[in-house]
Structure 1
Amino acid sequence: MKKTITAMVTCGALLVTAAPAQAAPKDPVRALKAVLVSGHGVRFTETTTLSGDPAIKLQSRKGTFQFNAKGIAASDIRATPKNSKPERTINVGRFSYISGGITAERLSSGTWYRSRGLPGGGSGFHGQVINPAEPKTLAALVKKGRVTRSAITGKITFKELAKVSAWFDASIPLRMHNDTKVSYTLTLSSAGLVSRVKSSYAATGVIDSGAFDGKTMTIDSRFTGWGAKVSIKAPTSGVSTDSDS
């Protein structure tokens, strides 16, 4: 009997020893800061839909963010909205340069409207509200959410997001309801970097219109090439400035 018990204990010890250790989740904020190098950046593609029967695709976008040590130094975004002309927005430092889209009726083709703010152009009002290239934003999402080895999930209000995210606050400066909650899922790569952001919120949070009552805005963004070399420059010709420039 003693031999049997001894054998069982030994087998149990071997099983415990053989069990693989579970790796702790990589720190996504630390992973992000490691790639924030001037002259490098990340690319993204994005689709925005409005819930309904059927759901409506409001716009698609693709673009590039260029980094500095603190986060985003410049961006170049092309948007194809459902109900307006294609738009391109280049943001460098304090200024945004918008061609097409909301400026199409005021400016001739190939010219740029320079303004302070609106880094996402007119498409920013239907664009991704969560920018994973901002360390403060990512830290807030980690703090408020649940972090696993492959994802970060949670909820954050517009008001909370505006406090930490310069991108959100500038992209959507006019908001109807700051208590609107954004549900988010950030998919993480094996290196701890964000490869996908899917966010959703009540559509009336930005535009309080009867057409948006009870509907949800969902934005799905994919990020690739973290740390790749990029170069974004402001347009040098065909620029029309606003009165505040």
Structure 2
Amino acid sequence: MKKMITALAACAALSAALSAVAAPAQAATKDPVSALKAQLVPGHGVRFTETVAWSNGTEESEIQDRKGVFQFDKKGVAAFDINIHWDDDTYGRQRAVGVGNITYHTGGVMPMVLPEGKTWYKVKSYGVPDSYGQILNPAEPKTLAALIKHGKSTKNSITGTITFKDLKQASAWWAGAKAPSSFDSTKVSYTLTLTSGGLVSRVQSKFTATEAGRQAMIAVDSRYSGWGAKVSVKAPDPAKVTTDFR
């Protein structure tokens, strides 16, 4: 009996030791920033879809549907490819492709303003390609850390508010949009939904901006899938690219 008790005690001690070792590792996989960094492998990325709604207080409508992909390097986003569809076809379909610190635009009004034979307009910029895209980029570790800092975390979500100024300091994606400093105090409310592994599966954001005495609220609902999948984003054919207008 004494030997059995001793053996059971040893098994209990071993089990406790293994649990102590396993617990931190399990917790680490649920930390969103650590989970994201584990996905940052060159040539891999994440896909997303999103809807954009606009409201002026009396009218509200869904104005855009988007789908795209982020391609990673070891630090975050190295390239992106976003297709934009306007629901009322005012601007038809647009596309923005970013590689490094260069973004290429096509569609929309481009056919009317670009020289003959050119279909892509090239600009030196990285970040939100227009005024209505998702300004919170969950594929940037510093951005994700800032959203966690400014938010309240539960088991599978993070909800909070961050100003344009604070977001600009954390996010290259938003800083690249070069929003005027007069909008720095604008507050963005957000909810991030997490998978069981700590990766972001959804980002809901909204903010109200005032310009020329008029207010408008932009709400973007983005869903992310295929974290870590192989992706490839390439710049357009140089023969079709220009930096000039007609």
- TM-score tier, shorter chain, comes to 0.7 to 0.9
Gaps of 5+ in 1: 1-20
User: In 2, are the aligned partners of 1:76 and 1:91 still within 8 Å (CA)?
Assistant: yes
Distance 1:88 1:103 in 2: 10
Corresponding position: 1:146 with 2:152: yes
Task: Give, as a single letter, the amino acid of the residue that structure 1 aligns with 2:217.
Answer: T
Displacement, 1:103? 2.3
In the other structure, the counterpart of 1:116 is 124
In the other structure, the counterpart of 1:133 is 139
In the other structure, the counterpart of 1:40 is 44
Is the partner of 1:203 in helix, strand or coil? strand
User: In 2, are the aligned partners of 1:39 and 1:230 still within 8 Å (CA)?
Assistant: yes
Task: Give, as a single letter, the amino acid of the residue that structure 2 aligns with 1:129.
Answer: I
Corresponding position: 1:223 with 2:224: yes
Distance 1:102 1:195 in 2: 33
In the other structure, the counterpart of 1:232 is 233
- CA offset digits 1:167-219 (Å, max 9, x no partner): 11213534642100100100000110000000011132xxx145x42x42111
Corresponding position: 1:67 with 2:72: yes
In the other structure, the counterpart of 2:101 is 94
- CA offset digits 1:47-83 (Å, max 9, x no partner): 1111344411121211000000000000000111343
User: In 2, are the aligned partners of 1:92 and 1:233 still within 8 Å (CA)?
Assistant: yes
Judged with a 3 Å threshold, the aligned counterparts in structure 2 of structure 1 residues 106 and 119 are, in CA distance, closer, same or farther, namely farther
Displacement, 1:241? 2.1
- CA offset digits 1:71-126 (Å, max 9, x no partner): 000000011134323111110012111101242321258711111115443xx211
In the other structure, the counterpart of 1:9 is none
In the other structure, the counterpart of 2:33 is 29
Is the partner of 2:38 in helix, strand or coil? helix
Corresponding position: 1:187 with 2:188: no
Judged with a 3 Å threshold, the aligned counterparts in structure 2 of structure 1 residues 226 and 87 are, in CA distance, closer, same or farther, namely same
Is the partner of 2:112 in helix, strand or coil? coil
Give TM-score, length-normalised by structure 1.
0.81
Distance 1:155 1:118 in 2: 24
User: In 2, are the aligned partners of 1:115 and 1:242 still within 8 Å (CA)?
Assistant: no
User: In 1, are the aligned partners of 2:127 and 2:175 still within 8 Å (CA)?
Assistant: no
Report % sequence identity: 51
Give TM-score, length-normalised by structure 2.
0.80
Task: Give, as a single letter, the amino acid of the residue that structure 1 aligns with 2:94.
Answer: E
Task: Give, as a single letter, the amino acid of the residue that structure 2 aligns with 1:87.
Answer: Q
Moved beyond 6 Å, runs of 4+: none
RMSD over aligned CA atoms reads 2.3
Judged with a 3 Å threshold, the aligned counterparts in structure 2 of structure 1 residues 145 and 234 are, in CA distance, closer, same or farther, namely same
